[in-house]
Amino acid sequence: MVTSEQQLLSVSLPSTILMTDVIKEFNTSFADFVSMKEYINFLSIQDPAYTTNPGFQQLDSISVWSRTGRIVFTANKYMELVQAYKPDLYVALCDGDTNINSSAKRVSKAVLRSKTLLEQCLNIHLHSDTLKSKGILGSVEGGYNLETREESIDYLKDKPLAGFVIDGLHNNGPSVQNISTEQIKQVVQHTINLLPTDKIRVSMGCWNPVTVLDLVELGVDVFDSSYPYIITEQSQALTFMCNHDICQNDQYRISVAEERYKDDFSPICKKCNCLACQNHTRAYLHHLHHTKEMLGLVLLMIHNTHHYLQFFIAIRDSIKNGTFNQLQKKIRLKYISVNSEFPPLQQSNCISVK
């Protein structure tokens, strides 16, 4: 209902952990179990759409929260699950429980713990026939401390990894969309400059589109789609890619809860070809919201995911065409009209994007 193009299927432990026993019993992969084997599976540890509970990491284990509560993973327990899921790409167990306020002692422990866990995961990975064709990613930790990040990279860069996750900048959840590039730029740029150029670089979290463009410019290759989910949960529809002359959408998103959409029988975006915009109106979405019908969130999620995927198509096309800076300026202007915290546009060249 969203796209016919292949995308990475992002799978997180908290949202799928309760399926583990059934997957093992049927002796199948996660992709086969959910009938999505045509997609490349990417397994992450935490769900970037939800705030990670801080302070529960231990010397040799990581905590995640499912619907049934806290679950503690050692490297052995985690790799047992990985071998059951058989993802194409997965993140080695790590301690990413740091942010801009974390102390030097805390980020140092995160790096040490992540080293220990990666060593254990990698050892099992290299000796597993099930995982010999799969890719394992290492997480670069260290919070906002550049020296500690260097220590983490020095350990990771020569390991047989498929790529790296630039981790430890936040604790996931909706608040990540409010983090500006200026806050993270020095750390991300320093990190990427030290990483091998022939391996993928991933950044998880619901970054707003302006920050996504800046991270692409810095060299990040892969992002997740938690941002459209967060916007959907707020009963809002993304419009930052809309053409103002056609849609009169001068903001980056609209709230279907607002009274002004009660009698608005136009789609969210007149040029959007998603299922929601092709078949339904703002007035109908407004009605669904106020009657608390689940269909309202379903339609918003279809639109927002489609809109976000179109954003990345535009990014890739602009890189090929040499028009990335124009796209960056266009999106920034849409956001800056209602968000004064975004800094002025800085002109430079983009280097890569997934």
Annotated binding residues for Zn(2+), as ranges? Answer: 272, 274, 277, 303
- 147-149-151 Cα angle (round to 5): 75
Distance of CA 59 to the CA centre of its chain: 27
Cα distance between residue 63 and residue 294, in whole Å: 31
Cα distance between residue 121 and residue 25, in whole Å: 23
Length of the chain: 354
| Known binding-site positions | 272, 274, 277, 303
Cα distance between residue 70 and residue 264, in whole Å: 45
Instruction: Give the Å distances, CA to CA, from 261 to 63, 94, 268, 290.
Output: 43, 45, 10, 12
Distance of CA 309 to the CA centre of its chain: 13
Cα distance between residue 288 and residue 300, in whole Å: 11
Distance of CA 349 to the CA centre of its chain: 23
Cα distance between residue 335 and residue 329, in whole Å: 10
Read off the amino acid at residue 40: I
For residue 303, report the phi and psi dihedrals to the nearest 5 degrees: -65, -50
Enclosing H/E stretch for 106:
helix 104-126
**Cβ atoms 68, 13 nearer than 8 A:** no
